[in-house]
């Protein structure tokens, strides 16, 4: 799942944080970075939230359970304009 990665996982209450160093897979090679995943959960799941932060690029993306149609359309546009990457691993 995480080949040759440095991964740190922290938990405090309902917060879960994972730091890793694999940022992308480009031209059959892993690209290193400083990526943080922060998940906040609630009992009702109404305000569950996942934040993905790229500390090198100083950008983040927030993923929420419920989004407006405009936000969904904008995210679809971003995802549809991204390159599709396929990787195969022999086991």
What mean pLDDT is predicted for residues 73-91?
A: 72
Q: Is residue 1 part of a domain?
A: no
Q: Is residue 41 part of a domain?
A: yes
Q: Is residue 89 part of a domain?
A: no
Domain residues for the domain of 13 are 7-81
User: How many CB atoms neighbour CB 55 within 10 A?
Assistant: 13
Q: Is residue 18 part of a domain?
A: yes
Torsion over CA: 57, 59, 65, 71 (sign): negative
Please state the φ and ψ torsions of residue 81, each to the nearest 5 degrees.
-90, -5
Is it the case that residue 1 has pLDDT exceeding 60? no
Half-sphere exposure of 10 (CA within 13 A, CB side): 8
Counted domains in the chain: 1
Is it the case that residue 84 has pLDDT exceeding 80? no
Q: What are 12-34's pLDDT values in tens digits?
A: 988 999 998 877 777 887 788 88
Nearest-CA neighbor of 79 among 65, 61, 66?
A: 61
Q: Is residue 65 part of a domain?
A: yes
């Amino acid at each position: 799942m995480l080949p040759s990665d440095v991964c740190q996982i922290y938990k405090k209450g309902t917060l879960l944080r994972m730091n890793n160093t694999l940022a992308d897979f480009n031209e059959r090679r892993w690209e290193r970075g400083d990526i943080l995943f922060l998940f906040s959960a609630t009992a009702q799941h109404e305000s569950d939230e996942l934040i993905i932060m790229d500390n090198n690029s100083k950008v983040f993306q927030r993923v929420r359970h419920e989004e407006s149609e405009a936000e969904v359309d904008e995210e679809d546009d971003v995802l549809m304009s991204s390159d599709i990457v396929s990787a195969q691993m022999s086991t």
